[in-house]
């Protein structure tokens, strides 16, 4: 019997979050014998709760093509956390939507919190005996998902961070006597993204880099900044937004529904301290949303893998799999050349787990280890083609026609 599929985007967007969706739609369209409808869930799991689905087959071919260069989560996303108790009212609503639209396949594209959503949904369907399969699609610029070599979106974010950092460093070099630049990079608990600037060559690489995996000592930081500045007349520092200074220093912290503190601002605070203590001119630079949203530095490897993962997710569901996530496994057998295989992994082992940068990959306060470099280098390879119209990047525009 034919069944409908629903695709859910969850958590923070990435440069390729819509590219996985592209892969899934393309593959789903190859199976009209098994998939009756291709639906998008409006605003993450909330679309399933509130019966707010829209028909992706109503969207134009051009809109689907442009998904590959459209930032943001085009279906709409959420940070809604499902309760632990499967008897909770919200699950009745979800089951009602599933039954109403004869949904047989649900895809959840997200990070570790969203994989919890995926996990709860698959438990729900199994416990209630509902014939609906649930598959996870990995995504997070933080790259802290367990059980996968890397997460979709991280390579492109890293490529943006590396190239943007290089611009800042070159701009800084233009002055004989410059400032102390503190560049704040995403990464709540994991410093995968901050470490990426280590790939830059001498002259544009950071003088100092601070990842959340290592304890941040303010006094040592101030000493090191002065030392770096003395050497060349300016200094450039990379910090993760989640270094423990950021946490302890925050005054009025806003929490999201996953109880995560809203970060950002550590660079500004550190710059203020440097100005006061060292009397040096500073510039705090947050790479902000651009590092996850920018489509122009998308890595070709990331784009290709996003399409492949979206495709396999649909194939896995049609193959009867559920409660699994499509993971990326690096093939280390090919000598030197980068190759990845896709594997299905049990979602229970992934949900809510976090993958940190191993201390062995952090060489010193100014360099990552070769092991990290080897890991990252192949991921940022290859540039993508982007389409502009009158100087402005073309984006996908959806009609969002609601399914009644």
**Interface residues toward a second copy, by CB under 8 A:** 9, 13, 43, 46, 70-74, 76-78, 159, 162-164, 166-168, 170-176, 199-200, 203-204, 252, 254, 262, 264-265, 268, 275, 281, 283, 285-286, 288-290, 292-297, 299, 377, 380-383, 388, 390-393, 395, 397
| Residue that the structure tokens 């709860």 belong to | 120
Judged by CB, which is closer to a second copy: 117, or 311?
A: 117
What residues are labeled active site? 142
Distance, in Å, from the CA atom of 129 to the CA atom of 143, rounded to the nearest integer, reads 34
Give the length of the chain: 404
**Least separation in angstroms between CB 211 and a second copy:** 20
* 147 vs 154, beta carbon nearer a second copy: 154
- Whole-angstrom distance, CA of residue 199 vs CA of residue 214: 19
> What does the radius of gyration of the chain's CA atoms come to, in whole angstroms?
22
Structure-block tokens of residue 58: 């109503």
Taking CA atoms, 202 is separated from 169, 199, 205, 366, in Å, by: 11, 9, 6, 11
The Cα–Cα gap between 195 and 376 comes to 9
CB atoms within 10 A of CB 335: 5
- Strands (E) in 297-361, as ranges, are 324-330, 340-346
Q: 10 Å Cβ neighbour count for 364?
A: 9
CB nearer a second copy, residue 59 or residue 286: 286
The four Cα atoms 320, 323, 325, 329 give a dihedral, to 10 degrees, of: -80
DSSP string of 228-250, one letter each residue? HHHHHS-EEEEEETTSHHHHHH-
Closer of 92 and 171 to a second copy (Cβ): 171
Q: Which is nearer to a second copy, 83 or 233 (CB)?
A: 233
Smallest gap, in angstroms, from Cβ of residue 215 to a second copy?
27
For residues 96 and 170, which CB has a smaller minimum distance to a second copy in the complex?
170
**Which run of H or E residues covers position 269?**
helix 266-278
Q: How far is the CB of 116 from a second copy (least distance, A)?
A: 19
Write down the least CB distance from residue 336 to a second copy, Å.
Answer: 14
Q: What is the spatial distance between Cα 54 and Cα 41, in angstroms, rounded to a whole number?
A: 7
Cβ-based nearer residue to a second copy, 31 or 283: 283
Nearest to 183 by CA among 174, 175, 171: 171
Taking the complex as a whole, how short is the minimal distance between the CB of residue 30 and a second copy, in angstroms?
28
Q: How many CA atoms lie within 13 A of 348 on its CB side?
A: 4
Distance in angstroms (rounded) separating the CA atoms of residues 221 and 207 = 11
Residue 76 C-beta: closest distance to a second copy, Å = 6
Query: Taking the complex as a whole, how short is the minimal distance between the CB of residue 359 and a second copy, in angstroms?
Result: 26
């Amino acid at each position: 019997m034919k069944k409908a599929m629903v695709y859910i985007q969850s958590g923070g967007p990435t440069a390729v979050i819509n590219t996985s969706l592209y892969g899934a739609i393309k593959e789903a369209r190859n199976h009209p014998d098994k998939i009756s409808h291709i639906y998008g869930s409006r605003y993450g799991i909330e679309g399933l709760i509130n019966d707010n689905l829209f028909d992706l087959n109503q969207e134009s071919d051009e809109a689907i093509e442009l998904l590959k260069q459209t930032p943001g989560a085009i279906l709409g996303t959420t940070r809604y956390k499902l309760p632990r108790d499967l008897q909770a009212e919200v699950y009745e609503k979800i089951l009602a939507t599933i039954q109403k639209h004869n949904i047989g396949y649900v895809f959840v594209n997200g990070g570790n919190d969203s994989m919890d959503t995926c996990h709860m949904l698959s438990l729900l369907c199994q416990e209630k005996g509902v014939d609906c399969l649930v598959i996870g699609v990995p995504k997070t610029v933080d790259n802290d998902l367990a059980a996968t070599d890397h997460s979709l979106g991280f390579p492109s974010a890293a490529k943006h961070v590396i190239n943007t950092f290089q611009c800042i460093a070159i701009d800084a070099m233009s002055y004989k006597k410059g400032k102390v630049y503190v560049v704040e990079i995403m990464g709540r608990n994991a410093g995968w993204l901050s470490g990426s600037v280590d790939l830059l060559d001498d002259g544009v690489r950071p003088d100092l880099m601070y990842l959340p995996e290592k304890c941040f000592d303010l006094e040592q930081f101030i000493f090191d900044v002065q030392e770096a500045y003395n050497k060349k007349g300016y200094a450039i520092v990379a910090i993760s937004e989640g270094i423990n200074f950021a946490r302890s220093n925050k005054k009025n912290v806003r929490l999201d529904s996953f109880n995560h503190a809203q970060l950002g601002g550590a660079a500004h605070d550190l710059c203020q301290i440097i100005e006061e203590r060292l009397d040096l001119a500073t510039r705090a630079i947050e790479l902000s949303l651009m590092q996850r949203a920018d489509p122009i530095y998308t890595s070709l490897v990331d784009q290709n893998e996003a399409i492949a993962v979206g495709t396999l997710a649909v194939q896995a569901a049609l193959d009867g799999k559920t409660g699994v996530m499509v993971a990326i496994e690096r093939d280390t057998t090919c000598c030197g050349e980068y190759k990845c295989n896709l594997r299905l992994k049990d979602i229970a082992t992934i949900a809510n787990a976090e993958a940190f940068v191993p201390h062995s990959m952090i060489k010193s306060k100014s360099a990552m280890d070769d092991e990290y470099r080897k890991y990252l280098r192949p991921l940022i390879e290859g540039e993508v083609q982007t389409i502009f119209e009158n100087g402005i990047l073309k984006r996908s525009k959806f009609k969002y026609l609601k399914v009644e």
